[in-house]
Amino acid sequence: MADPSVNPKNVLIKNENTDLPPELPKPPEKVFALQVNAWGTLQDFIANALQLPILQSDFEERYGTFEDEALVEKGIELLKGLKDAADAFGNVVTESQDIMKYIGTDTPPESLFAHGVWLASKIESTAMTVSNYAASAIPALEKETDPQKRAEDIKELLTYPGAGMYSYAIDLNGKCNDYNGLLSTYVENTFKPASDAFHTYFTTQENTILTDAQNIVDSELSRINELTLKVASLKSKLYGWSIGGSVGCVVASGLPPLFIFGSAILLGFEIEECIRIQKEIDKDNDEIKKLKADELKKAALVTDLTTLINSSQNVDDAAKAFLQAVVEMAEGFGLCATDMKTISDLVEPKKVADLPPFLQNTGLETAEKDWKEIQLAANNFINSGQYKYETAS
């Protein structure tokens, strides 16, 4: 069994995440425990879900209309479930822009997103306090020559009610457990049901608003291509007449046809045919314009739903991974507090008569440095992007 230690650094600071998507820049060599890739995956999914239209009028404005209203209603129902779950987590888009207002408050914000950053801020400030405490206490212990007094000072350093290192560790253990409880309830009762319902429906049902939209896109693209070729053919016909000096040229030039053609019968026929073709071209172009506008809306729905479906495959695992990171932090602070209590209970004058080995074996020797590293890692998490490795310094 490892010796008891006053430092939870190994739990609070992780080696660089080697499971990052290859397109992301290399993360810092050491990162705060919450700065896992899962945190970013969760927030990307939440940010996308927050933009979803949940009213039929908004849905139609963004994606156009569909003949099968039942498919639209089911799609909106599932999108609303995702958006409600996203709202319950917190608006990562707006809150991340004003995150500092959540720092320094005594109680955590209701938003689970902001709560996570608030928790990091509490770890940061507490780690700074413990580091400073150790910075002043350890040199004092080294100066103390009486083993009895030295043992008493160590007990005070570790377990003095409300101000010892134990009090700080157990407080952070409680804060981590509180956040874990809220986050676990959210994931199991709100987020996972909505994500699972969405993913299952769109990956198992043959006829959905997604398949309908894709079929419409295919049909409209085919029709646009057909009309484009037709318009090109009609324009070529008019262009051919213009080369031959006929009505196409007359229409193009704007000159009175009477001065060009001597035959009123021939002139009338060609003018009528030219006007008919031009009207047909205009009509086809109008249809192409409408089809392109609708195709863009349907293609946007296909893209948005496909993105959500693909990300929903990974987001459940991301939620579990982030929960595990919070659990490990809570356990780390809990174990550290237990070790501090154990060291305090077992300390006696003869064990601290030779102080350097005692400080080394208990972690007190490096307490100032280790808790300082925790402080800096938490600060980096808060101030350099919170959840995005590409913005971490």
What does the pLDDT look like over 370-387, one tens digit per residue?
999 999 989 888 876 554
Lowest-confidence pick of 71-75, 236-240, 346-350? 236-240
What own/partner pairs with CB < 8 Å and gap ≥ 24 does 40-43 have? 40/387, 40/388, 40/389, 41/311, 41/314, 41/315, 41/318, 42/89, 42/315, 42/318, 42/319, 42/322, 43/92, 43/96, 43/113, 43/387
Instruction: Please tell me whether residues 83 and 179 are part of one structural domain.
Output: yes
Is residue 201 within 8 A of residue 208, CB to CB? The reply is yes
Q: How far is residue 211 from each of residues 11, 59, 68, 201, 202, measured CA to CA in Å? A: 46, 16, 12, 12, 9
Q: Is residue 211 in a domain?
A: no
Instruction: Please tell me whether residues 246 and 345 are part of one structural domain.
Output: no
Is residue 325 within 8 A of residue 112, CB to CB? The reply is no
Residue among 205, 181, 186, 184 at smallest CA distance from 46: 186
Q: What is the rounded distance in angstroms from the CA atom of residue 347 to the CA atom of residue 213?
A: 72
Q: Is residue 304 in a domain?
A: no
Read off the pLDDT of each residue in 310-330 and give the average, rounded to a whole number. Answer: 89
- 102: CB partners within 8 A, 6+ apart: 95, 109, 111, 114, 117, 118, 121
Q: At which of 260, 292, 324 does a domain end?
A: 292
Is residue 4 within 8 A of residue 166, CB to CB? The reply is no
pLDDT (0 to 100) of residue 384: 65
pLDDT (0 to 100) of residue 47: 86
Instruction: Please tell me whether residues 118 and 193 are part of one structural domain.
Output: yes
Running DSSP on this structure, what letter comes out for residue 157? H
CB atoms < 10 A from the CB of 322, how many?
Answer: 23
Share of residues in the chain with pLDDT > 90 (%): 60
Instruction: Please tell me whether residues 192 and 242 are part of one structural domain.
Output: no
Instruction: Please tell me whether residues 197 and 87 are part of one structural domain.
Output: yes
Q: What is the rounded distance in angstroms from the CA atom of residue 105 to the CA atom of residue 139?
A: 33
pLDDT (0 to 100) of residue 267: 54
Q: Is residue 1 in a domain?
A: no
Q: Is residue 286 in a domain?
A: yes
Q: Is residue 122 in a domain?
A: yes
Residue with tokens 């995005």: 388
The 10s digit of each residue's pLDDT in 276-314 is: 888 999 999 999 999 999 999 999 999 999 999 988 878
Read off the pLDDT of each residue in 71-91 and give the average, rounded to a whole number. Answer: 93
| Global pTM value | 0.81
The 10s digit of each residue's pLDDT in 33-58 is: 888 778 888 888 888 888 889 899 99
Q: What is the rounded distance in angstroms from the CA atom of residue 115 to the CA atom of residue 117?
A: 5
Model confidence band, residue 173 (pLDDT cutoffs 50, 70, 90): very high
State the number of CA atoms in the 13 A half-sphere of 274 facing the CB: 19
368 pLDDT higher than 50:
yes
pLDDT (0 to 100) of residue 257: 47
Instruction: Please tell me whether residues 317 and 285 are part of one structural domain.
Output: no
pLDDT (0 to 100) of residue 269: 62
SS (H, E, C) 71-121: HHHHHHHHHHHHHHHHHHHCCHHHHHHHHHHHCCCCCCCCCHHHHHHHHHH
Q: What is the rounded distance in angstroms from the CA atom of residue 95 to the CA atom of residue 46?
A: 12
pLDDT (0 to 100) of residue 302: 96
Q: Is residue 149 in a domain?
A: yes
Q: Is residue 258 in a domain?
A: yes
CB atoms < 10 A from the CB of 178, how many?
Answer: 14
pLDDT (0 to 100) of residue 317: 87
Residue among 72, 63, 101 at smallest CA distance from 294: 63
Q: What is the rounded distance in angstroms from the CA atom of residue 266 to the CA atom of residue 76?
A: 60
Instruction: Please tell me whether residues 272 and 342 are part of one structural domain.
Output: no
pLDDT (0 to 100) of residue 232: 93
Running DSSP on this structure, what letter comes out for residue 258? G
Q: Is 109 exposed, middle or buried (0-12, 13-18, 19+ CB in 10 A)?
A: middle
Instruction: Please tell me whether residues 248 and 345 are part of one structural domain.
Output: no
pLDDT (0 to 100) of residue 27: 53
Q: At which of 292, 320, 339 does a domain end?
A: 292
Instruction: Please tell me whether residues 89 and 223 are part of one structural domain.
Output: no
Q: Is residue 298 in a domain?
A: no
- DSSP 3-state of 59: helix
Share of residues in the chain with pLDDT > 70 (%): 85
Instruction: Please tell me whether residues 202 and 221 are part of one structural domain.
Output: no
Instruction: Please tell me whether residues 102 and 238 are part of one structural domain.
Output: no
Q: How far is residue 201 from each of residues 17, 196, 312, measured CA to CA in Å? A: 33, 8, 12
Which residues sit opposite 32 in a β-bridge? 13
The mean of the pLDDT values for the chain is 85
Count of domains for the chain: 2
The 10s digit of each residue's pLDDT in 97-132 is: 777 777 878 899 888 988 998 999 999 999 999 999
The 10s digit of each residue's pLDDT in 224-278 is: 999 999 999 998 887 665 444 444 444 444 444 443 444 444 455 667 888 888 8
Residue 62 structural domain: 9-206+311-391
Using the Cα atoms of residue 196, residue 202, residue 203 and residue 204 in order, give the sign of their dihedral.
positive
Instruction: Please tell me whether residues 55 and 202 are part of one structural domain.
Output: yes
- 182: CB partners within 8 A, 6+ apart: 112, 115
Is residue 220 within 8 A of residue 274, CB to CB? The reply is no
**H or E stretch covering 52:** none
Model confidence band, residue 3 (pLDDT cutoffs 50, 70, 90): low
Q: At which of 261, 292, 323 does a domain end?
A: 292
CB atoms < 10 A from the CB of 185, how many?
Answer: 12
